[in-house]
Structure 1
Amino acid sequence: MTPVSVTQGAGPIVLGLPHAGTFVPDDIKVALNENGRKLADTDWHIDRLYDGLIADITTVKANFHRYVIDANRDPTGVGLYPGQNTTTLVPTTDFDGLDIWDTPPTDTQIDARRIAFHAPYHAALSAELSRLQELHGFVILFDCHSIRADIPFLFDGTLPDFNIGTNMGVTCAPEIEAVTTGICNAAAGYTSTVNSRFKGGWTTRYYGQPDSGIHAIQLELAQSSYLHDEATPWTYDHAKANRLRPHLTETLTALANLSPTLGGTS
């Protein structure tokens, strides 16, 4: 299996999907313990949820699982949230703090995974951002994530449905955060927050350079908003998803129409 899949559109938005993949090579799978082989920390069906929301959108999806290597972590191994529980470049535990490996990877093996998986994903993402920035004069990376709403190891209480991250407004123009926040806040029956527990992962922080015309924003969805249950078998709930998808469509459409205020040429 190729490490990354790309679908090209001509619009100014790139959807990043670093955690939707479930592929684990056999030589890595045998090193996982029974808990690790459950792959519980997948952003289950997030690619399906976003599929077909608006026309002419570009998607870049990592096909490999985050237990192989996390495409949303700094390849140097620097942590995202100092002083808080989180998972690393190659996680050693799941989101509940439980071990996932019978045989943890060596530094040499992690380096090999950087080259084989992490680097190709970011090469593809970088290429698409450059292509669309050249076309429009700007580009918006919309990084798509989801997570269980209740994970005491990572955060207190129950997570809101919409968790917007811009690293405290650093990674995108204010209009992008304002539009996204406004739509999420107005979505009836849903809760939302900005730059709370999730401020944007490494991808958002690394690529988000609004002064250079590259804007990045992360949306972390509570999986309870579109899954039947936040547990095996992680079933996609059509009724929940069909209620949620119009709000995502509205958000992406509004962002795509911001080109005049962002200095786009389209």
Structure 2
Amino acid sequence: MTAPFNFNRGKLPLLISIPHAGTALTPEVESALSDAARPLPDTDWHIPKLYDFANALGASVIVGNYSRMVIDLNRPADDKPLYTTATTGLYPDTLFDGTPLFTPGKEPNAEQRKAALDNIWQPYHQQLQSELERLKAEHGYALLFDAHSIASHIPRLFEGKLPDLNFGTNGGKSCDELIEEHLVACAASQKQFSWVANGRFKGGYITRAYGQPSQGVHAVQLELAQCNYMDEQPPFAWREKHAPQLQPLLEQLIRAMLSSAQQIA
């Protein structure tokens, strides 16, 4: 069985979580996927590569290895909806555009889904929690940056074109206000990429569950429009001319989060 995640421990009080870049499938999911789902279109393609500067900075990084089509690491274990608008659950049964994920009658059964929860979801969150506790014990506080991406046009989820950078802080509840202010100021200081804070994406389960600023743990989600660094159609190729333009801004955002947290501590 493929390991549920890859983890690299850093020296900064920062953990970067990448839950949706995985492409591994369990046998029961792989054999049941619909034709539309086989290219794994809802994957956060290339996000580890996009944030490869993080290791040099000294951040800890955790990357999920399994596709969200097996189990979604950014949904609660009880599968309670996070949004009142269209979304997908802990065990998705449709793609983002509403297309069925599985061939009718071949969906994974309850036992198989429970195995995914126990062997994939739980280990990821145990490692995430353990690292945040270590960072807080060592530095006095911990920062969590949840890194995501999505196609820039998905009518079922949002109207029109998604802003390039979509910050989510659960309406300001998952991090100190100074951290959000610094991130927004950093985004506003440039004109190449559009941005919004707590728009369509306010942060998923990871941001909401672990972001506890009163306890010294500050979490932010960043949802990127994929058109800025990759092709949004199969085979979802990395855009060598576009991605290097986005990476410096991402590094600036990470540094802004770190510097603002130092002021709070």
**For this structure pair, what is the TM-score category when the shorter chain's length is used for normalisation?**
over 0.9
Per-residue deviation at 1:254? 2.0
For residue 163 of structure 2, what is the aligned residue in structure 1? 160
Task: Letter of the 2:76 partner, please give it.
Answer: D
Q: Distance in 2 between matches of 1:203 and 1:195?
A: 15
For residue 227 of structure 2, what is the aligned residue in structure 1? 224
- Contact 2:186 2:256 survives alignment (8 Å): no
Matched, 1:136 2:157: no
Matched, 1:105 2:112: no
- Contact 1:4 1:124 survives alignment (8 Å): no
Matched, 1:31 2:11: no
Q: Distance in 2 between matches of 1:26 and 1:12?
A: 38
SS in 1 for 2:63: strand
Matched, 1:195 2:194: no
Matched, 1:65 2:67: yes
Q: Distance in 1 between matches of 2:109 and 2:26?
A: 16
Per-residue deviation at 1:110? 1.6
Q: Deviations over 1:56-99 (max 9, x none)?
A: 110011000000000000110101102x1101101000011000
Task: Letter of the 2:31 partner, please give it.
Answer: V
Deviates more, 1:102-111 or 1:19-28: 102-111
Deviates more, 1:185-194 or 1:69-78: 185-194
Q: Distance in 2 between matches of 1:93 and 1:187?
A: 36
Q: Distance in 2 between matches of 1:135 and 1:78?
A: 33
**2:212 pairs with one of 209, 213, 237:** 209
For residue 79 of structure 1, what is the aligned residue in structure 2? 81
Task: Letter of the 1:117 partner, please give it.
Answer: I
Alignment of 1:5-16 (within 5 A): 5-16=6-17
Q: Distance in 2 between matches of 1:260 and 1:244?
A: 25
**2:154 pairs with one of 151, 154, 178:** 151
For residue 240 of structure 1, what is the aligned residue in structure 2? 242
Structure 2: gaps of 5 or more residues: none
SS in 2 for 1:98: coil
Pairwise CA RMSD: 1.1
Count of residues paired in the alignment: 261
For residue 42 of structure 1, what is the aligned residue in structure 2? 43
SS in 1 for 2:255: helix
Runs of 4+ in 1 over 3 A off after TM superposition: none
Q: Distance in 2 between matches of 1:45 and 1:119?
A: 24
- Contact 1:168 1:199 survives alignment (8 Å): yes
Q: Deviations over 1:23-45 (max 9, x none)?
A: 01223200212222221000010
Percent identity, aligned pairs only, is: 39
SS in 2 for 1:38: coil
Q: Distance in 1 between matches of 2:185 and 2:52?
A: 23
Deviates more, 1:128-137 or 1:179-188: 179-188
Task: Letter of the 1:63 partner, please give it.
Answer: N
Per-residue deviation at 1:181? 1.0
Q: Distance in 2 between matches of 1:85 and 1:107?
A: 23
Deviates more, 1:193-202 or 1:31-40: 31-40
Structure 1: gaps of 5 or more residues: none
Per-residue deviation at 1:107? 2.5
